A and B are shown apart, each in its own frame.
Chain A
């Protein structure tokens, strides 16, 4: 034994370094090859082109969203330096700013909380339904609704702002928010009063959710209360194709 230690000590240090590096290299090559395995297999199936298309469409969506946010910023900047009858323009700009805030078209910062939802790591009980151990769109919707009830004023899920047009739906074991694919963990950020968490945790609906999902199936719910939270702007369409503003008809004369 001492002889072996002696021999190792006698080795030049660069040889030891090289040995460790080569060992790591070998490990990584093996890991890489095994990771490639399933992907290579998909190319022989129908699935891979779909995955490629989905990834491609997602990249396009990200680019379009960035473009929308940029255009809105530029429009707002131009409007604010607009000329014309100054008082009226200023008044309209103030109302526009207010409307954009109400609509969720501006990113916000303020007091609030962050909740993180993740699938259960518990083993599926015999006879139980595997999907009960996965965070569903309904779970995320429940959390969002409970946050609104607790007094939240703005909410985002990962980087998607929740607006009046936001649908949250299941897709496999994941969810779509504003038709954008979201991977776990789901981070629900809520802006609201400083005591938002104590209000939320006091609500029977949230307690029911926690009991039914976290305690029974081990869905992981974690909380962070940073000094301030950032909520992104809604990067989507606000076009109305069917709805028109209803101009109130003059009240009928008596």
Chain B
């Protein structure tokens, strides 16, 4: 009898112990680093997350409609060629494999700016929702980088002589606002490179070329 009671108490202690270990580990994991952010940074994070989630929800909607269309076409024994063509065009345009046009902004760079500064501008444009980018005549796609010392910028292997243009398709207001805000990338670069003149111009219609790069990876295959 006494032996049973001993075992029971040890079991109970072990149970509570296990529970606490789990709770403790969970506590340490919860929101990694989030508690370390300031209220201002958290507000920025929440704004970023909500904007992104809205985009993702829209994408889910598009994909659901697409799935329904394909399924109903197939159940009626109809051709799926049109749907395939639409999907192909949508992916190729987004990827940079097709020339595209639309409203946006141009940033005219006059004076010595270096590669990393051009990358900063591209990063800011992407963050502001640019849909297609080009520096000079080079369409910017994954793998295209801007490198080089001030005044000797090379983008995607092609050297640029100032003045040159960075062009982005997207909402002209959103792109201009993001670039030229107080403490934004134009202000920072203006202070860092006082000899370089950066001019942001909203444009009604821009035309960007398709990339000339091969974008299908040759060292990997799709993982299914």
Q: Interface on A for B, CB 8 Å cutoff?
A: 14, 17-18, 21-22, 24-25, 28-29, 31-32, 35-36, 38-39, 42, 46-47, 50-51, 53-55, 57-58, 60-61, 64-65, 67-68, 71-72, 74-75, 78-79, 81-85, 88-89, 92-93, 95-112, 137-138, 141-142, 145, 148-149, 152-155, 162-169, 171-174, 176, 178-181, 183-184, 191-194, 205, 230-231, 236-246, 248
Cβ contact of B13, chosen from A18, A29, A72, A78, cutoff 8 A: A18
CB contacts between A and B, total, < 8 Å: 313
Asked if B221 and A109 sit within 8 Å, CB to CB, the answer is yes
Residues of B within 8 A of A184 (CB): 33
Decide if B192 is an interface residue (CB 8 Å cutoff).
no
Q: How far is the CA of A65 from the CA of B220 in the complex (A)?
A: 23
Chain A residue, CB-CB nearest to B218? A153
List residues of B (42-92) whose CB comes within 8 Å of A's CBs.
42-46, 48-53, 55-60, 62-64, 66-67, 70-71, 74, 77-81, 83-85, 87-92
* Top 9 A-B residue pairs of the complex, sorted by shortest distance between their CB atoms: A110-B220, A102-B215, A179-B52, A167-B127, A153-B217, A57-B49, A183-B32, A84-B79, A71-B63
Residues of A within 8 A of B215 (CB): 101-103
Q: How far is the CA of A63 from the CA of B39 in the complex (A)?
A: 25
Cβ contact of A178, chosen from B37, B52, B60, cutoff 8 A: B52
B15 to chain A, nearest CB (A): 10
A228 to chain B, nearest CB (A): 8
Residues of A within 8 A of B57 (CB): 64
Residues of B within 8 A of A174 (CB): 33, 37
Asked if B80 and A98 sit within 8 Å, CB to CB, the answer is no
B176 to chain A, nearest CB (A): 13
Q: Interface residue count for B (Cβ, 8 Å)?
A: 106
Q: How far is the CA of A162 from the CA of B14 in the complex (A)?
A: 46
Q: How far is the CA of A230 from the CA of B207 in the complex (A)?
A: 36
Decide if B191 is an interface residue (CB 8 Å cutoff).
no
Given contacts A172-B41, A243-B131, contact A51 B31 (CB under 8 A): yes
Chain A residue, CB-CB nearest to B85? A92
Asked if B56 and A64 sit within 8 Å, CB to CB, the answer is yes
Cβ contact of B63, chosen from A72, A152, A183, cutoff 8 A: A72
Name the prevailing secondary structure of the B interface residues. Answer: helix
Cβ contact of A92, chosen from B24, B52, B81, B144, cutoff 8 A: B81
Cβ contact of B60, chosen from A18, A68, A92, A103, cutoff 8 A: A68
Of the A-B pairs whose beta carbons lie under 8 Å apart in the complex, a sample of 16, sorted by A's number, is A75-B87, A92-B85, A96-B84, A102-B92, A102-B215, A104-B142, A141-B119, A149-B145, A153-B143, A153-B217, A153-B219, A164-B141, A169-B127, A236-B59, A237-B58, A245-B93
